[in-house]
Amino acid sequence: MNASANTSQQITDRFIHSACKRIAENKRVRRSLPIWGRLHVDRQLPFLCVYRKPGDNTDLGTGGLLLGEASYITATGNPRLQRSLSVLVKKIATLMVDTFGSFLVLEIWAGSEEDFPDCSLEYQPCFRITQRKNSTLTKTIGSLEQELLKVRVRKAMAAVECRKAVKTGPHSMPPLLSASDLRTIGCHTLGIEIRPIYRDRTTNTNFSVIHRTLHRGFAKALKKAFFVFTNEHTTHTPPHYTALGRRSVVKAVWSVDQKLADIGNQIDFLLQVTPINGQSAWAYFKRHRFQKVPQFLYRRLPINATLLKRRLFGVPIERIEDPTLGALFQEQQREMDRKLTMLSDIGTRRFLYGSLQMYGDISAALVTEAETILDRISPRTRDESPGKAVNAEQFAERATQEIEFFRTSYPQLKSTVKIVDDLTGLMVSNGNLLIGKTARIPASRVEALLHHEVGTHVLTYINGRAQPFQQLYVGLPAYDALQEGLAVLAEYLVGGMSRPRMRLLAARVVAVQQMINGASFIDVFREIDRTYDFEQRSAFTITMRVFRGGGLTKDAVYLQGLIKLLDYLAHGGDFDTLLVGKIAANHVPMIKELLWRKVLKAPPLRPRYLADSAAMKRLDRVRGGITALELTQRKHQ
């Protein structure tokens, strides 16, 4: 009985041999350890993170700071396990030194409040980095210190102390590797003592929001330090620090992604908030000499928003270990919640408040830019000839040809073109292009709109579908601004950005701002019609779009997204990253990280204009720095 108990509290030689065999074959290892803990090695890597939990079980949350790392061990600090745990670490280190020429073991533990007397603020992050007295990790420690200093929790700046000692692990536990082991193997050790601001000292409960915030900053600091170590001390040369993150994704991630996608696919938000009686509403408004606001009708809501919310908040996002993906899924959950609330509030003032939450307020700088465009571009411009236009059937034929062109490169493509009765313009819904039956499109705008709708909205939907993460076709939170900015830029790149089009985008911003400020439907219509001299039908369409649902501020993001995109590209931003799926500007670093980690793959489709020399010259002009207004000037076209 005693022998059996001792065996259950040891990491067996068989376990160690099996784990090391898989690591030697560059295979993933993810196994539970005796008593408590886990060994997770994503692939062969020149570092290993370690956390040992004290025996009193009061150290809640510290081990969770390693979850999401590509190579780590969490284990009990039970004295009976320490010898076999050291053997496991030693075997992995020996194996990886043979592979990379060097290896780093980094151990973390939580200190007490008394260990950080200089940290007076309640939630101030504090770290103490410990290196051996003869350490040669100067650059690695410098990077670690620099990045840990960037960690912020509730605006409190981090404090970091560096010291040298004989032992780099917790005071109450034996070292994982002896000085003799380190010399024999040829590896290095570092220790990080952490002030546990994520834990209530009285109740021993976890502050989840603080823990997530600290985790994200801490994980980034570790990866950057590993990157410096790897490039300086090993034969491995990763292209970027994020390339040292996880490549394998656990089942919990795929499950959460699938459940959120299932819910997202039931929320066809833009289609639901677009009036189905635009034509008759215009006729009513005109018949009453623009003095009576028409009643707008909407599609029947095919979902029970309350029940769908119940499903949404039942998705177990808290199981996601990866801090990057966990933060993304939580953000997505919040935005889906807002959309469901807005769909329930269609036709009420509450809808506008939800729209402001989702799309944000309108900055004074954006309004000024819009007013400048309206002032500088004459309403009498003849860029678009009203006499030549294509009808819905003709445009549908051209759009189908465009989709078939993409299908030759990606046969899995399922997008279609549909002509519908209850729409007045163009819209992409679930990867399909919808065209209003009464739509008439100026011939000079056909190519531009094809690249706006098919070459951007349909293309990014398809590219998102091709990725393992389904959120990339559903649309990441707040993706609209970048998506619409990219679509408008596509119009310019194919030579189709007209002055009336730019005036239209600017007028939408002004209309949104006036609506937010309390102007009525008729007031906004008059302002667009009389002050800015738009045709009455165009002024009505702008106003209807802004007031749809009860007040939708989305139309301001076209110009806003374009301006931010121009700035992004002028500062060297990568264009192809924007095509991976439906993403927001703040997601670009995360997308790049997941591409470096090979969790995501290169998108299968690229817009046709990227193979056109004239379009590339225009893109070069954009990279050189150009304003939205300058896009309409002939010298830039």
- Decide if 337 is inside a domain: no
> Does some domain include residue 334?
no
Dihedrals phi, psi of 130, to nearest 5 degrees: -115, 130
CATH number at residue 11: 3.40.630
**In a 3-state reduction of DSSP, which class is residue 610?**
helix
Q: Is the pLDDT of residue 384 over 70?
A: no
* Confidence band of 313 (pLDDT split at 50, 70, 90): very high
Q: Would you say residue 406 has pLDDT above 70? A: yes
Same domain for 290 and 228 = no
Is 307 among the domain residues? no
Residue 396 to residues 9, 408, 436, 446, Cα–Cα distance (Å)? 69, 19, 10, 11
Does residue 7 sit in the same domain as residue 140?
yes
Instruction: Quick: pLDDT tens for 569-612.
Output: 999 999 999 999 999 999 999 899 899 988 899 999 999 999 99
> Taking CA 318 as the corner, what is the angle to CA 313 and CA 320, rounded to the nearest 5 degrees?
120
Query: Exposed/middle/buried for 444, CB within 10 Å: 0-12, 13-18, 19+?
Result: middle
Residue 401 is assigned to a structural domain of this protein: yes
- Indicate the range of 120-124, 412-416, 426-430, 564-568 predicted with least confidence: 120-124
In a domain, 160, yes or no: yes
Tokens in use for 82? Answer: 């320490």
Query: What single DSSP character describes residue 455?
Result: I
Torsion of Cα atoms, 567 then 571 then 577 then 582, to 10°: -20
* 100 vs 47: CA distance, rounded Å: 10
What is the distance of C-alpha 126 from the center of its chain?
28
Do 184 and 296 share a domain, yes or no? no
Is the Cβ–Cβ distance between 481 and 583 less than 8 Å? no
- Domain match, 237 and 272 both: no
Residue in the structure block whose two tokens are 């003849």: 382
**Residue 316, number of CB atoms within 10 A of its CB:** 11
- Torsion of Cα atoms, 278 then 283 then 286 then 292, to 10°: -70
Query: Which residues span the domain enclosing 361?
Result: 268-302+345-636
Q: Which pair of structure tokens corresponds to residue 142? A: 């410098």
pLDDT grade for 33, boundaries at 50, 70 and 90: very high
Q: At what angle do helices 305-312 and 323-344 cross, to 10 degrees?
A: 170
Nearest to 139 by CA among 60, 230, 238: 230
Task: Kindly state whether residues 411 and 528 are assigned to the same domain.
Answer: yes
Strand partners, 226: none
**What amino acid occupies position 513?**
Q
- Using DSSP's 3-state secondary structure scheme, residue 30 falls into strand
Residue 228's pLDDT is 98
Q: How far, rounded to the nearest angstrom, does the alpha carbon of residue 393 sit from its chain's CA centroid? A: 37
**324 within a domain of the structure (yes/no):** no
* Inter-helix orientation angle 208-233/323-344, to 10°: 140
Distance CA 473, CA 483 (A): 12
Q: Is there a domain that residue 258 lies in? A: no
Q: Is the same domain home to 279 and 185? A: no
Helices (H), 159-304: 179-185, 208-233, 251-264, 269-272, 278-287
Average pLDDT of 549-577? 97
As a residue count, the chain comes to 637
Overall average pLDDT of the 208-223 stretch: 93
Residue 340 in any domain: the answer is no
3-state secondary structure 318-337: HHCCCHHHHHHHHHHHHHHH
pLDDT of residue 633: 83
pLDDT at 14 over 70: yes
**Residue 353, token pair as written in the block:** 């408040």
pLDDT at 2: 40
Q: Which stretch of DSSP H or E encloses residue 108?
A: strand 104-110
pLDDT band, very low/low/confident/very high, at 386 (cuts 50, 70, 90): low
If you average pLDDT over residues 121-138, what whole number do you get? 94
Q: Provide the 10 A C-beta neighbour count for residue 137.
A: 21
Q: Are residues 279 and 233 in the same domain?
A: no
Phi then psi dihedrals of residue 377, to 5 deg: -100, 120
Provide the domain count of the chain: 2
Q: Domain check: are 560 and 418 in the same one?
A: yes
How confident is the model over 6-11, as a mean pLDDT? 69
Q: Are 71 and 41 in contact (CB under 8 A)?
A: yes
Is the pLDDT confidence value at 451 over 60?
A: yes
Residues 277 and 157 in one domain: no
Residues in CB range of 285: below 8 A, 6 or more apart: 292, 293, 294, 540
pLDDT per residue as tens digits for the range 459-470: 999 999 999 999
Tell whether the torsion through CA atoms of 10, 15, 21 and 25 is positive or negative.
negative
**pLDDT of 323:** 80
Residues 579 and 432 reside in one and the same domain: yes
Lowest mean pLDDT among 314-323, 398-407, 476-485: 314-323
Domain C-terminal end among 179, 214, 248: 248
List pLDDT tens digits, range 230-243: 999 999 999 999 99
Residue in the structure block whose two tokens are 């699938």: 258
pLDDT at 385: 59
Whether 295 and 241 share a structural domain: no
Shared domain check, 292 and 191: no
Amino acid 5: pLDDT? 41
How many helices (H) and strands (E) would you count in the chain?
A: 24, 15
pTM (2 d.p.): 0.85
DSSP string, 372-419: HHHHHS-TT--SS-TT-EEEHHHHHHHHHHHHHHHHHH-TT----EEE
